[in-house]
């Protein structure tokens, strides 16, 4: 049962605001991490492990949260997730021991596992099939906008103290929870899908190695591994190598993100239609690998800004291209493919930051070098990537 137009718009605004606030809060802390690291006497490997802890907890909780969204309701999971998010940010801000930080990051991963599937399911409940794609597009835009504005806002808020961005993010999470509690209502007529078979993670993992999907899933891992390794140490790299301030780092990240989003909106569809998904993926991997190595030799604010702009652009174009390919290959197995896409992405987010942090302690340039090497490996795999034939489609249908 669809809600009246005005009520539906209000619900969508609240839902999108929640997602925006969460990713804004995540972005707020990016430019202050080097100063926070120095104040807490943390190593690069510890920073990498903190990022990985978030991804591990999200990976573990997500399958359960997905079932809880259907069992206990969308609104309840959204409110609980936002409260947990607020608590995690406050704990990180007031933390005086590294164990406090790990606990905060684990809570952050749990909050993400609660919020994302609940919001996505809520949007699907309150929109028609015709409206859904546009609403999901708004959801993606809310995430991107939060990431874009967050680092810039964080850099300026940090002028009042390096722990202040964490407190601001926490308060925003609590305010979003309160507004959701009083404004959102559980969708009417919600139907819980019955599973004929109990879902098995191991069976899904085995299915993911089918030739139709395997290389694409590996490249999803390559993308998340390379991007997370790059982003995890970027602020540390800019601080240690160039002595950039949190505001300098915020400007680089914000400008790079804006350029990538604008380019994606205006030219992504045309480029994919013109050169095809496979060539687009290969082009992004080549650009990403070259610029990852180039990051180790550039010097100065403008060269690093330009390098970061183009590497962010390559990553931002690679992700939707992979999603488009996987969606087209999935046929009637969209849920399975979306779930495994998230799994491989989470695995990359776990190993990328951890290895990036370890290598940063060995040599400041090594995390970028390993990102470049991993992307070259992904590029080589695409060389054996054959276009799907009618036989492939038949095999997928049987499989």
pLDDT tens digits along 338-351: 556 667 777 787 78
What is the share, in percent, of the chain residues with pLDDT greater than 90?
A: 7
Place 83 in a pLDDT band, splitting at 50, 70 and 90.
very high
CATH code for the part of the protein at 1-185? 1.20.1250.20
Q: Most confidently modeled of 10-24, 83-97, 254-268, 313-327?
A: 83-97
Chain-wide mean pLDDT for the chain?
Answer: 76
pTM of the model: 0.65
**Contact partners, residue 182, CB within 8 Å, separation at least 6:** none
Q: Average of pLDDT values for 237-265?
A: 78
- In the predicted model, is pLDDT for residue 23 greater than 60? yes
Distance CA 29, CA 66 (A): 28
Task: Check residue 177 and give its pLDDT.
Answer: 92
Tell me if 1-185 shares its fold with 201-399: yes
Distance CA 234, CA 221 (A): 20
- In the predicted model, is pLDDT for residue 113 greater than 90? no
Place 324 in a pLDDT band, splitting at 50, 70 and 90.
low
Distance CA 345, CA 59 (A): 10
Q: Average of pLDDT values for 292-298?
A: 88
- In the predicted model, is pLDDT for residue 359 greater than 80? yes
Would you kindly state where each structural domain of the chain is located, as residue ranges? Answer: 1-185, 201-399
Place 134 in a pLDDT band, splitting at 50, 70 and 90.
low
Q: Most confidently modeled of 50-59, 229-238, 265-274, 363-372?
A: 363-372
Q: Average of pLDDT values for 111-120?
A: 80
Distance CA 228, CA 350 (A): 9
Q: Which CATH architecture has domain 201-399?
A: Up-down Bundle (1.20)
Task: Check residue 80 and give its pLDDT.
Answer: 95
């Amino acid at each position: 049962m669809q809600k009246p137009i005005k009520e539906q718009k209000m619900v969508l605004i609240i839902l999108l605001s929640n997602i925006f606030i969460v990713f804004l809060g995540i972005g707020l802390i990016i430019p202050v991490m080097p100063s926070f690291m120095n104040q807490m006497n943390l190593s690069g490997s510890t920073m990498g492990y903190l990022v990985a802890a978030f991804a591990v907890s999200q990976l573990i909780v997500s399958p359960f949260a997905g079932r809880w969204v259907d069992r206990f309701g969308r609104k309840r999971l959204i409110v609980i997730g936002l409260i947990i998010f607020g608590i995690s940010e406050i704990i990180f801000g007031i933390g005086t021991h590294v164990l406090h930080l790990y606990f905060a990051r684990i809570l952050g991963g749990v909050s993400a596992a609660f919020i994302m599937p609940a919001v996505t399911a809520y949007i699907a409940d309150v929109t028609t099939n015709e409206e859904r794609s546009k609403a999901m597009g708004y959801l993606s835009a809310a995430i991107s906008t939060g990431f874009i504005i967050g680092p810039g806002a964080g850099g300026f808020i940090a002028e009042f103290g390096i722990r202040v961005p964490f407190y601001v993010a926490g308060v925003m999470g609590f305010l979003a929870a309160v507004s959701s509690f009083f404004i959102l209502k559980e969708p009417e007529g919600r139907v819980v899908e019955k599973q004929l078979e109990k879902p098995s993670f191991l069976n899904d993992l085995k299915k993911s190695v089918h030739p139709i999907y395997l290389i694409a899933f590996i490249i999803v891992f390559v993308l998340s591994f390379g991007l997370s390794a790059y982003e995890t140490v970027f602020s540390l790299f800019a601080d240690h190598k160039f002595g950039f301030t949190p505001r300098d780092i915020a400007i680089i990240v914000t400008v790079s993100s804006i350029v990538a989003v604008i380019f994606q909106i205006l030219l992504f569809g045309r480029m994919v239609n013109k050169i095809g998904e496979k060539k687009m993926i290969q082009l992004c991997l080549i650009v990403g690998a070259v610029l990852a190595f180039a990051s180790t030799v550039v010097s100065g604010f403008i060269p690093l800004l330009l390098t970061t702009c183009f590497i962010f652009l390559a990553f931002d174009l690679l992700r939707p291209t992979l999603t488009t390919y996987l969606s087209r290959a999935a046929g009637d197995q969209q849920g399975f493919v979306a779930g495994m896409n998230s799994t491989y992405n989470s695995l990359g987010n776990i190993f990328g930051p951890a290895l990036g942090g370890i290598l940063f302690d060995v040599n400041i340039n090594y995390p970028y070098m390993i990102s470049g090497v991993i992307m070259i490996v992904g590029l080589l795999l695409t060389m054996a990537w054959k276009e799907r034939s009618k036989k492939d489609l038949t095999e997928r249908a049987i499989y």
